Amino acid sequence: MSYNLFTRLRGMLFHFARNKFFKNVAIVGGGIAVGQSISLAFTPFLTRLYGPQSFGVAAAFAAVVNIIIPIATLGYANAIVLPDEEEGAAAVARLSIFSGIIVAPLALVMVHLGKPWLADWVGLSHASWVLYFVPVAILVQAFLSVANIAAIRQELYVAKAEAYVGSTLLTNLGKLTGGLLAPSSLLLIIITLAGAVANVIIQLFRVRRRGALMVQNWFGLRGITMAARSYKDFCIYKMPQGVLRASILGLPTILLSVLFGSAAAGQYSLAITILGAPVGLIGQAVGDVFLPTITRAINRGSRDAHILLMRATLGMAIASLPFCVLIFWGDLILPLVFGTEWALAGDYIQWLTVWLSCTLISYPAISAFPALRLQSFQLKIEVLYIGLSFAAMYIGFSWYGSDIAAIALFSLVGSLTNMALICMAHKAVYANVRKLSSSSNNHA
């Protein structure tokens, strides 16, 4: 029996190893995992060189940039994979770069004219000079987005993964070296931007430069008007969704910086980095694999759709159990690993674990939303989520005067929102199965 089980497992592994789809998923997922492991390995050293204040300024800057980044290419970079011909893809690449070249100077003008107000809004009034790096980040991200999507179009997954891992290693080595010489928030920001540039350069040296990956095809106006008309949906829908999603992730960092100072934002950034990396990796991997499976089951009206969703949700709940260690002992583990001055991050992570565990459990349900035609419902929930999150953190500040209370209320709002999404997906799948089954019986 054991031999037969071993033979079956070996056969399954051999099948997966030869399957192109699973191979590509493993390459991309493996690259992300290695890159995140490198960052986590360097973190205990970096936290002893850079204080919470420096981390906080860099985290607030990153939150602002991540919210603005979807605007860098106006969402068009995501359309590079769609054209049948390479010239069409190159036209979309030109449009994306052109958008970044236009948006970056506009951002510079806005920063220069509105720096005092903008700095107050994002909690960087004590380091308003940081905002001048926002236009630079927009331009760098425009090129990085084009390089990444163009590599995906040509299925150059190995080169893309190598570029990500290599640039992550260089970035962390730069932060470590800089921390030994002259640690500062400015250095963290500059090295992070340099890492993104390194990612682009490594990709261009590692891939076959043709079509949308030829740098000379990135500049000019040829075909961009037609590309803008053909893929306007990406500008109208994809870009706002990206801004909204980044706003949800960046809101706590910005509000902590505004209400409690950069040091609190730095403590939060460490906590969310430690926990967000594994949760995001597991959730994305499962979501990508589960998406086609649940979509086919829902479209067929299969009775197995509801069972599939229940099993996947239960599986993610089991996968979240190891994180519960941080709920009980996070306040002891983080100061021990990263230094005593990061004790507050340990208090944060106890609450954040509740929210991110619920987020992990919700990935299968969210994967079912497109097939259930519930994207508009999801968008409304996300808008409501932003409003409730803002209110929760402000209540923690104004009523309790406590950053821990703000994080606790924010985490509870996030947990309840994810639970609502899970319940809605299960209810909709069950209703869809009954509807299609009833329809097929009537036709029979």
Q: Please enumerate in sequence order all residues whose Cβ is within 8 A of that of 145, keeping only pairs 6 or more positions apart, or say none.
A: 72, 73, 77, 96
**What value does the mean pLDDT of the chain take?**
81
The pLDDT of 184-209, averaged and rounded, is: 83
pLDDT of residue 408: 95
pLDDT of residue 1: 44
The pLDDT of 249-255, averaged and rounded, is: 83
pLDDT of residue 386: 86
- Which has the higher per-residue pLDDT, 209 or 158? 158
Ranges of H-type helices in 207-303? 224-230, 232-233, 239-260, 262-300
Q: What percent of the chain has pLDDT over 90?
A: 20
The model's confidence at residue 346, banded by pLDDT at 50, 70 and 90, is very high
pLDDT score of 409 more than 90? yes
pLDDT of residue 345: 92
pLDDT score of 173 more than 60? yes
Per-residue model confidence as pLDDT tens digits over 29-63: 677 778 778 888 898 899 888 988 888 888 888 88
Q: What are φ and ψ of residue 431, in 5° steps?
A: -65, -40
pLDDT of residue 16: 46
**Residue 123 has which token pair?**
């909690």
* Alpha carbon distance 349, 133 (integer Å): 30
- For 371, the 3-state DSSP assignment is coil
pLDDT of residue 213: 65
Quick one: which of 112, 349, 102 has its CA closest to 224?
102
The model's confidence at residue 4, banded by pLDDT at 50, 70 and 90, is low
pLDDT of residue 413: 94
The pLDDT of 360-378, averaged and rounded, is: 81
The model's confidence at residue 354, banded by pLDDT at 50, 70 and 90, is very high
pLDDT score of 262 more than 90? no
pLDDT of residue 351: 95
pLDDT of residue 259: 84
**Residue 330 has which token pair?**
């996070």
- Which has the higher per-residue pLDDT, 207 or 230? 230
pLDDT of residue 348: 94
* Alpha carbon distance 104, 115 (integer Å): 15
Per-residue model confidence as pLDDT tens digits over 314-324: 888 998 999 98
Task: State if pTM tops 0.75.
Answer: no
Identify the weakest region by mean pLDDT among 133-137, 148-152, 309-313.
148-152
pLDDT score of 398 more than 60? yes
∠ CA 274-34-53, nearest 5°, is 35
pLDDT of residue 11: 52
Per-residue model confidence as pLDDT tens digits over 92-130: 888 888 999 999 999 899 888 888 887 777 667 777 888
pLDDT of residue 274: 85
Identify the weakest region by mean pLDDT among 133-147, 271-285, 384-398.
271-285
The model's confidence at residue 405, banded by pLDDT at 50, 70 and 90, is very high
Say if CB 72 and CB 295 are below 8 A apart: no
User: First-to-last CA distance in the chain?
Assistant: 45
pLDDT score of 396 more than 80? yes
Dihedral sign from CA coordinates of 348, 383, 72, 222:
positive
pLDDT score of 347 more than 70? yes
pLDDT of residue 210: 59
The model's confidence at residue 230, banded by pLDDT at 50, 70 and 90, is confident
pLDDT score of 387 more than 80? yes
**Residue 282 has which token pair?**
């597991």
pLDDT score of 362 more than 80? yes
pLDDT of residue 287: 67
